[in-house]
């Protein structure tokens, strides 16, 4: 014990004298401080705005993030503690003393453990300090409970440091190489990412082993707290017992597992560590001796004799040829030193495993495979692999710069007649060679996985462009930065930290509002590759941003040559002085690089800030806030409504522009005269507006955001007028990557060389638009705005008469002539009247005729292949058309089949299809959604076009999405609610219901189990990120996770309980009674739109009395169930059948919308059943619907075949927070 304490005391004394210990502690203090004091920093920054930044869940997640990225700190502390004796050759003295192995290793390890925990204790201090920052958002700061700080530190940080530190310490002790320790850390990090990718891509709902086996803890926390409400995240600690929480025991078992793993590692180290000089030196001496013997046997003479006989006569010459040969020799030497080393190929092996794993799961959608097209393969391979390459580059840059000093060869090397240029250039070449090998490996891995997955359209040019034209120059630039940093700093490990820190600081700066690529070190403009549009309009910005930063890093590379360490004078000040005395060698090259950077940066700035308006995220928020502050008072301004649209649109794909002229027919459908016309123009697209009656410009806001005209003669109720407009959009030069619009979409991506898709937002928009307001409470507080105004109540005298989709119109007639380039097809809602060519351009005329449609239109232009079918509809033939990229033909027939199925189902159960055509139009993946316009659905290439169903139970996303969007032709384009709460549910939930029913009829009820589980999972995860408060379905406002997933699930369940025909009868009655509300002026000008009260009434009219409570729970309340199967057993009967006894536990609670739950009385219909087959592939043997009260109950079944599983609510038809415990294995007695 005395020896142990001596080693421990020495380690602590040494460490606490080292500035690095306090730097580490300060680093984690600052990290935690910013996590709490700023919403733009840290792992929780993008979580729900209602999660307390100093709450127990946030503290846990922040500490997990620190441990994950703090492995380099652990490696530096634990690795150097055991390597110090070997680096300084003191082990030979130390091990001649009677020192016990346990005292030596235990003292070193314990000291490192305590020092590391001291450093990480800054997390608690920083978080506490962050709560007192004057600028912190006090709405997200809760009370400072000591346990919220201490328990996560003990259960997360201490455990992580224990077992990761044990691993680093053991590897360092057994290999005596700190570089191997770092390589191990990188490998561990990447292997962990492999596991996370596999779990996330499969969207696994298995919540036990994935949590227990997680070594880092990110997945563990997601498993344990994935469905926690905001209230629970703000009050619950991760449960360290086997009974609490929704996944009892998982957190405790995980911690015990990895504590045990660390203990095993330390035990093995105590057994295997050779505590003697002879044993430690034997292996290296043996290797050197064997190498000499081999060489002597090959040459037939002793090595020294061979060298002496080969010594050439030296004629010193120091010209350009000599420097060239020196460069080649050093480049070859250093490249071979990297490429022949075992650690490099170990890293390559880890990288290849990462590539294979990510490639296999490339682009999976909700657990369904997609075709591994090359751009998806590149994204999956390049994404996290780029981080891997950055870390490897940083490590090898440090090794190259410090190698001679690490092996104490610097005195000899610095005396060689070697200029700085060959030395520095050879290091850069060696790094680039390593990067090249890894990029080649990435390409080969991607191609291999495409081959394995049965895809053979490899697109080698795309691989080469992405990896070697875009990525490699960035890595080379980063290499020059890393070499410069390692040259100027006095310590290799500090250099590693700075180099990685430069890379890490980029997203941090971006989150803090520094979004200009010119100010983000090494950044390139954001871009998206599309099969339809290639790199498109992103190419110029990419080229100039890469050149800009490459030139800056090249200047740093030149400076690193000028400041290279030579001789004994290694201080930076002396090296700077020496460089200034000989500027001719480096100043011209540095200035040349800076001139290139200035030229590239200047051209970049001119395009992004002069030719185009540069708006940061904060700028956009300020504009939105100013819009609300100035013009909210006009929200209820009496305005006319659009009744007809007639336009001519000229699309110019080659320059990503359009211009349009046209006429709106406006009618005063209100009861008071209209005296003013108000227009919102967020896209600055209006070129000219004119009217057929005298007007006067009253005001025009900055950027033309809001314009008011006064009518000299008021527009009386019932009167009409005409608005002539000229609008357009230009794309001069290039922008700084993606330009976000005010809804968060990629505005620049709307206009593409192939696949332009824009909508009526670029046409005159009447009145104030609440959709442009800031809706995030955090951002509203930052801008000094109050709480977001909620949607109007149902029955509101004004808003119930306003169309949900288009507040400035009811129903319109539509006519458009659309022109585009000669090799493209232009499409818009309506029936094609004629097509012609003029001046090398294609023109198309579309008209809806007498058929009214929503004021909701879009224009699409692209180079398409066309697949057309004709469906026999109830009221005549319906043309079904899919316009698609020729390379994406895989699911076209599926989309047509689902269109036929959806039409058949909806026409049979609801009403005839109102149009004579239904078209699907593919557009580039700059946006990832499908959107249902009248008889026309733009459909992103990122969705169903590249789906690949490989297993029978894979969710058919192409089928599902297509039928959902088709459903909107009824639910949205026939039945539309007013601008009041709940109306989104009647559009989205009923479209989701139509899609689920079509899917059930196509694949059967058993297939739907996985679909329903996905709906449930999406709802439960969605509610954890609620920004304001959750609302019941009939009162939903802007909660997509409610109206899509909860709504679809509960409508499916209601149809199952009540009878699909009864539900459809209720919907049909509502639809036929209320479709096309306000479409006929003869109905009156004050007609209201339907709301969810009529929807619920229609359901109640068809439902038996025993289901009225279920309807109320499902649609008018927020109800959660806690049903679980406790046990199931079976015994074989004499007749060969099996008697199964099932014990279940039932519970029910009601949520207030903020996450506060109270127990609710339960007397509900719930299914219980017995199944055969393995978990996940069960087939029903007996399923019955019973009434369950809260508490425990036993059931008995007699089945004909061997049962394997049994449970309650087996198909997940209810909103059960823990669906995993609904089924249990049946034990056979």
| pLDDT value at 6 more than 70 | yes
Which of 1128, 1206, 1208 is closest to 1167 using CA atoms? Answer: 1208
Which of 458, 428, 454 is closest to 446 using CA atoms? Answer: 458
- Longest Cα–Cα distance of the chain, Å, equals 113
pLDDT digits (tens, 9 = 90+) for 813-859: 999 999 999 999 999 999 999 999 999 999 999 999 999 999 999 99
Residues in the chain: 1229
Domains of the chain by range and CATH?
2-272 (no CATH), 320-611 (no CATH), 612-789 (no CATH), 972-1117 (1.10.390.10), 1118-1229 (2.60.40.150)
Which of 244, 246, 217 is closest to 229 using CA atoms? Answer: 246
Most confident of 409-423, 644-658, 1015-1029: 644-658
- For residues 369-387, average pLDDT: 84
| Residue 690: other Cβ atoms inside 10 A | 11
Strands (E), 692-762: 695-700, 706-715, 720-729, 756-759
- For residues 1075-1089, average pLDDT: 74
pLDDT digits (tens, 9 = 90+) for 502-555: 888 888 888 888 899 999 999 999 899 999 999 999 999 999 999 999 999 999
Q: Which residues are 938's β-sheet partners?
A: 921
CA distance 769 to 807: 8
Say which range, 331-335, 491-495, 536-540, 641-645, has the weakest mean pLDDT. 491-495
Is residue 588 helix, strand or coil?
helix
pLDDT digits (tens, 9 = 90+) for 1106-1128: 999 999 999 999 999 999 999 99
Most confident of 307-311, 1100-1104, 1218-1222: 1100-1104
Is residue 241 helix, strand or coil?
coil
pLDDT digits (tens, 9 = 90+) for 16-59: 988 888 988 999 999 999 889 887 777 776 666 788 889 999 99
- The set of residues, in sequence order, having a beta carbon less than 8 Å from that of 503 and lying 6+ positions away, is 390, 478, 521, 522
Which of 189, 246, 208 is closest to 1120 using CA atoms? Answer: 246
> How remote is the C-alpha of 948 from its chain's centroid?
22
Q: Which residues are 709's β-sheet partners?
A: 677, 697
- For residues 229-249, average pLDDT: 81
No. of helices (H) and no. of strands (E), the chain: 39, 30
pLDDT band at 1084 (very low <50, low <70, confident <90, very high): very low
Q: Give the DSSP letter of residue 1226.
A: P
CA distance 390 to 197: 20
Buried (b) or exposed (e) across 1015-1039, using 16+ Cβ within 10 A? bbbbbbebbbebbbbbbbbbbbbeb
Q: Give the DSSP letter of residue 276.
A: S
Most confident of 595-599, 700-704, 1021-1025: 595-599
> Are 1121 and 1113 spatial neighbours (Cβ–Cβ below 8 Å)?
no
Which of 1218, 1223, 1111 is closest to 1173 using CA atoms? Answer: 1223
pLDDT above 90 covers what percent of the chain? 59
Instruction: Please give the structure tokens belonging to residue 99.
Output: 């020192």
Per-position DSSP letters for 1120-1141, written without gaps between them: EE--EEEEEEEEE-TTS-EEEE
Interhelix angle 374-406/178-202, rounded to 10 degrees, is 170
| pLDDT value at 284 more than 60 | no
Which of 398, 402, 393 is closest to 495 using CA atoms? Answer: 398
| pLDDT value at 395 more than 80 | yes
- Alpha carbons within 13 angstroms on the beta-carbon side of residue 672 total 7
pLDDT band at 1030 (very low <50, low <70, confident <90, very high): very high
CA distance 4 to 108: 9
pLDDT reported for residue 10: 87
pLDDT band at 183 (very low <50, low <70, confident <90, very high): confident
> Are 922 and 883 spatial neighbours (Cβ–Cβ below 8 Å)?
yes
Which of 396, 284, 261 is closest to 337 using CA atoms? Answer: 396
Q: Give the DSSP letter of residue 790.
A: P
- For residues 356-364, average pLDDT: 78
pLDDT digits (tens, 9 = 90+) for 196-232: 666 665 544 456 677 788 888 888 888 888 888 888 8
- The set of residues, in sequence order, having a beta carbon less than 8 Å from that of 829 and lying 6+ positions away, is 814, 846, 848, 853, 857, 858, 933, 934, 935, 936
Classify residue 690 as left (phi > 0), alpha (psi -120 to 50) or beta.
beta
- The set of residues, in sequence order, having a beta carbon less than 8 Å from that of 584 and lying 6+ positions away, is none
Is residue 591 helix, strand or coil?
helix
pLDDT reported for residue 557: 92
pLDDT reported for residue 391: 84
Classify residue 1078 as left (phi > 0), alpha (psi -120 to 50) or beta.
left
Q: Which residues are 1142's β-sheet partners?
A: 1128, 1195
Residue 342 burial (C-beta neighbours within 10 Å; 0-12, 13-18, 19+): exposed
CA distance 71 to 165: 9
pLDDT band at 280 (very low <50, low <70, confident <90, very high): low
pLDDT reported for residue 93: 63
Mean pLDDT of the chain: 88
Which of 762, 770, 626, 620 is closest to 681 using CA atoms? Answer: 762
Q: What separation in angstroms does the CA of 1126 have from each of 49, 1144, 1166, 1221, 1222?
A: 37, 5, 16, 8, 9
Strands (E), 874-978: 876-884, 917-923, 936-940
Say which range, 390-399, 402-411, 423-432, 632-641, has the weakest mean pLDDT. 402-411
Is residue 877 helix, strand or coil?
strand
599 vs 391, more confident: 599
pLDDT reported for residue 1185: 94
Say which range, 32-46, 425-439, 613-627, 931-945, has the weakest mean pLDDT. 32-46
pLDDT band at 1019 (very low <50, low <70, confident <90, very high): very high
Which of 1123, 1145, 1143 is closest to 1206 using CA atoms? Answer: 1143
572 vs 1085, more confident: 572
Say which range, 357-361, 393-397, 1152-1156, has the weakest mean pLDDT. 357-361
End-to-end CA separation in angstroms for the chain: 56
pLDDT reported for residue 122: 94
Instruction: Please give the structure tokens belonging to residue 967.
Output: 């459903």
- For residues 1147-1163, average pLDDT: 92
CA distance 314 to 569: 29
What phi and psi, each to the nearest 5 degrees, are found at residue 1212? 55, 50
> Are 1165 and 1113 spatial neighbours (Cβ–Cβ below 8 Å)?
no
- For residues 697-710, average pLDDT: 94
> Are 153 and 123 spatial neighbours (Cβ–Cβ below 8 Å)?
yes
Q: Give the DSSP letter of residue 459.
A: -
> Are 470 and 542 spatial neighbours (Cβ–Cβ below 8 Å)?
yes
Is residue 1179 helix, strand or coil?
strand
Q: What separation in angstroms does the CA of 173 have from each of 31, 80, 150, 997?
A: 31, 10, 32, 63
| Residue 766: other Cβ atoms inside 10 A | 22
What phi and psi, each to the nearest 5 degrees, are found at residue 807? -60, -20
Q: Give the DSSP letter of residue 236.
A: P
> Are 1120 and 1157 spatial neighbours (Cβ–Cβ below 8 Å)?
yes
> Are 53 and 140 spatial neighbours (Cβ–Cβ below 8 Å)?
yes
Buried (b) or exposed (e) across 1071-1092, using 16+ Cβ within 10 A? beebbebbbeeeeebebbbbbb
Q: What separation in angstroms does the CA of 486 have from each of 73, 393, 480, 569, 572?
A: 18, 12, 10, 16, 12
Q: What separation in angstroms does the CA of 91 have from each of 14, 78, 112, 173, 278?
A: 17, 17, 18, 12, 11
pLDDT digits (tens, 9 = 90+) for 645-689: 999 999 999 999 999 999 999 999 988 999 999 999 999 999 999
pLDDT reported for residue 370: 87
CA distance 1037 to 1029: 10
- For residues 773-786, average pLDDT: 89
> Are 901 and 994 spatial neighbours (Cβ–Cβ below 8 Å)?
no
> Are 952 and 958 spatial neighbours (Cβ–Cβ below 8 Å)?
no
- For residues 245-274, average pLDDT: 87
pLDDT reported for residue 481: 95
DSSP run (H or E) holding 773: none
- For residues 331-359, average pLDDT: 87
């Amino acid at each position: 014990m005395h020896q142990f304490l001596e080693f421990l005391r020495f380690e602590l004394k040494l460490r606490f004298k080292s500035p690095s210990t306090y730097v580490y502690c300060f680093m984690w203090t600052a990290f935690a401080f910013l996590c709490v004091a700023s919403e733009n920093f840290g792992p929780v920054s993008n979580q729900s705005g209602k999660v307390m930044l100093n709450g127990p869940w946030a503290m846990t997640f922040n500490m997990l993030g620190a441990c994950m990225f703090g492995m380099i700190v652990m490696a530096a502390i634990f690795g150097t503690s055991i390597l110090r004796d070997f680096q300084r050759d003191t082990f030979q003295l130390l091990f001649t003393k009677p020192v016990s192995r346990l005292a030596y290793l235990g003292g070193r390890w314990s000291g490192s453990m305590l020092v590391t925990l001291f450093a990480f204790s800054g997390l608690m201090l920083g978080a506490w300090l962050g709560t007192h920052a004057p600028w912190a958002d006090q709405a997200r700061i809760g009370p400072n409970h000591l346990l919220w700080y201490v328990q996560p530190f003990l259960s997360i940080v201490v455990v992580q440091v224990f077992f990761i530190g044990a691993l680093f310490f053991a590897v360092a002790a057994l290999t005596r190489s700190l570089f191997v320790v770092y390589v191990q850390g990188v490998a561990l990090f990447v292997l962990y990412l492999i596991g996370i990718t596999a779990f996330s891509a499969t969207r696994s709902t298995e919540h036990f082993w994935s949590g227990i086996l997680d070594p880092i803890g990110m997945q563990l926390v997601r498993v344990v707290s994935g469905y926690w409400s905001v209230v629970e995240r703000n009050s619950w600690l991760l449960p360290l017992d086997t009974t609490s929480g929704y996944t009892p025991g998982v957190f405790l078992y995980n911690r015990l597992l990895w504590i045990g793993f660390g203990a095993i590692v330390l035990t093995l180290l105590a057994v295997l560590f050779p505590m003697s000089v002879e044993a430690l030196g034997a292996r290296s001496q043996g290797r050197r001796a064997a190498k000499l013997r081999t060489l002597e046997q090959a040459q037939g003479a002793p090595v020294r004799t061979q060298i002496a006989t080969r010594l050439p006569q030296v004629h010193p010459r120091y010209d350009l040829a000599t420097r060239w040969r020196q460069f080649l020799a050093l480049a070859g030497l250093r490249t071979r030193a990297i490429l022949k080393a075992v650690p490099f190929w170990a890293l390559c092996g880890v990288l290849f495993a990462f590539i294979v794993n990510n490639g296999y799961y490339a682009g999976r959608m909700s657990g369904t495979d997609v075709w591994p097209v090359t751009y998806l393969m590149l994204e999956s391979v390049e994404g996290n692999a780029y981080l891997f390459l950055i870390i490897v580059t940083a490590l090898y840059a440090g090794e190259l710069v410090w190698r001679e000093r690490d092996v104490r060869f610097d005195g000899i090397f610095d005396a060689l007649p070697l200029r700085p240029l060959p030395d520095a250039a050879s290091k850069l070449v060696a790094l680039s060679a390593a990067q090249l090998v890894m990029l080649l490996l990435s390409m080969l891995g991607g191609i291999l996985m495409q081959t394995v997955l049965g895809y053979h359209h490899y697109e080698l040019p795309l691989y080469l462009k992405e990896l070697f034209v875009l990525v490699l120059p960035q890595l080379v630039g980063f290499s020059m930065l890393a070499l410069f940093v390692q040259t100027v700093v006095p310590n290799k490990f500090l250099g590693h930290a700075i180099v990685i820190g430069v890379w890490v600081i980029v997203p941090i700066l971006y989150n803090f509002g520094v979004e200009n690529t010119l100010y983000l070190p090494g950044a390139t403009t954001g871009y998206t590759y599309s099969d339809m549009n290639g790199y498109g309009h992103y190419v110029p910005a990419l080229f100039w941003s890469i050149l800009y930063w490459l030139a800056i890093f090249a200047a740093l590379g030149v400076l690193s040559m000028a400041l290279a360490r030579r001789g004994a004078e290694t201080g930076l000040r002396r090296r700077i002085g020496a460089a200034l005395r000989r500027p001719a060698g480096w100043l011209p090259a540095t200035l040349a690089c800076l001139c290139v950077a200035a030229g590239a940066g200047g051209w970049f700035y001119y395009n992004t800030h002069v030719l185009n308006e540069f708006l940061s995220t904060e700028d956009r928020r300020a504009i939105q806030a100013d819009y609300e502050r100035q013009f909210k008072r006009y929200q209820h301004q009496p305005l006319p409504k659009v009744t007809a649209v007639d336009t001519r649109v000229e699309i110019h794909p080659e320059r990503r522009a359009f211009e349009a002229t046209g006429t709106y027919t406006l009618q005063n459908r209100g009861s008071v005269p209209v005296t003013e016309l108000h227009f919102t123009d967020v896209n600055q697209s209006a070129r000219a507006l004119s009217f057929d009656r005298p007007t006067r410009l009253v005001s025009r806001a900055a950027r033309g955001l809001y314009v008011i005209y006064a009518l000299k003669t008021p527009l009386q109720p019932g009167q009409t007028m005409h608005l002539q407009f000229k609008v357009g959009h230009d794309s001069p030069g290039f922008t700084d990557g993606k330009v976000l619009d005010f809804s968060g979409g990629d505005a620049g991506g709307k206009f593409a060389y192939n696949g332009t898709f824009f909508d009526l937002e670029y046409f005159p928009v009447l009145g104030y638009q609440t959709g442009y307001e800031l809706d995030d409470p955090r951002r509203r507080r930052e801008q000094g705005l109050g709480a977001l105004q909620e949607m109007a109540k149902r029955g509101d005298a004004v808003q119930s008469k306003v169309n949900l989709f288009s507040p400035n119109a009811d129903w319109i007639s539509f006519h458009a002539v659309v022109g585009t380039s000669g090799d493209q097809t232009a499409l818009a809602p309506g029936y094609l009247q004629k097509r012609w060519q003029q001046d090398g351009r294609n023109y198309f005329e579309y008209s809806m005729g007498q058929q009214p449609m929503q004021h909701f239109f879009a224009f699409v232009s692209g180079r398409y292949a066309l697949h057309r079918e004709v469906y026999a509809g109830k009221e005549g033939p319906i043309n079904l058309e899919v316009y698609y990229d020729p390379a994406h033909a895989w699911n076209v027939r599926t989309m047509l089949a689902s269109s036929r199925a959806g039409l058949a189902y909806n026409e049979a159960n609801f009403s005839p299809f109102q149009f004579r055509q239904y078209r699907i139009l593919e557009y580039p993946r700059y946006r990832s959604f499908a959107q249902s316009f009248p008889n026309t659905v733009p459909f992103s290439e990122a969705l169903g076009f590249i789906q690949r169903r490989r297993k029978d139970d894979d969710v058919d996303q192409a089928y599902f999405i297509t039928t959902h969007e088709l459903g909107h032709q009824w639910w949205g384009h026939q039945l539309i609610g007013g601008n009041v709460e709940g109306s989104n549910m009647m559009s989205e939930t009923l479209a989701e219901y139509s899609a689920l029913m079509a899917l059930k009829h196509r694949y059967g009820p058993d297939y739907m189990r996985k679909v329903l589980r996905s709906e449930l999972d999406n709802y439960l995860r969605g509610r954890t990120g609620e920004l304001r408060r959750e609302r019941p379905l009939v009162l939903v406002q802007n909660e997509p996770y409610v109206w899509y997933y909860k709504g679809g699930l509960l409508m499916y369940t209601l149809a199952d309980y009540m009878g699909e025909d009864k539900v459809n009868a209720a919907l049909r009655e509502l639809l036929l009674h209320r479709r096309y509300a306000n479409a006929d002026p003869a109905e009156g000008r004050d007609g209201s739109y339907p709301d969810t009260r009529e929807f619920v009434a229609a359901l109640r009219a068809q439902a038996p009395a025993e289901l009225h409570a279920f309807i109320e729970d499902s649609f008018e309340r927020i109800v959660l169930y806690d049903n679980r199967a406790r046990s199931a057993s079976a015994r074989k009967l004499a007749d060969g059948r099996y008697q199964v006894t099932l014990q279940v536990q039932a519970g029910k609670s009601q949520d207030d919308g903020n996450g506060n739950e109270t127990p609710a009385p339960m007397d509900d219909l719930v299914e219980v059943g017995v199944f055969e087959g393995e978990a996940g592939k069960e087939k029903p043997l007996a399923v019955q619907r019973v009434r369950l009260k809260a508490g425990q109950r036993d059931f008995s079944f007699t089945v004909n075949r061997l049962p394997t599983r049994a449970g309650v609510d087996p198909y997940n038809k209810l909103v059960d927070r823990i669906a995993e415990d609904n089924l249990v294995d049946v034990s056979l007695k």
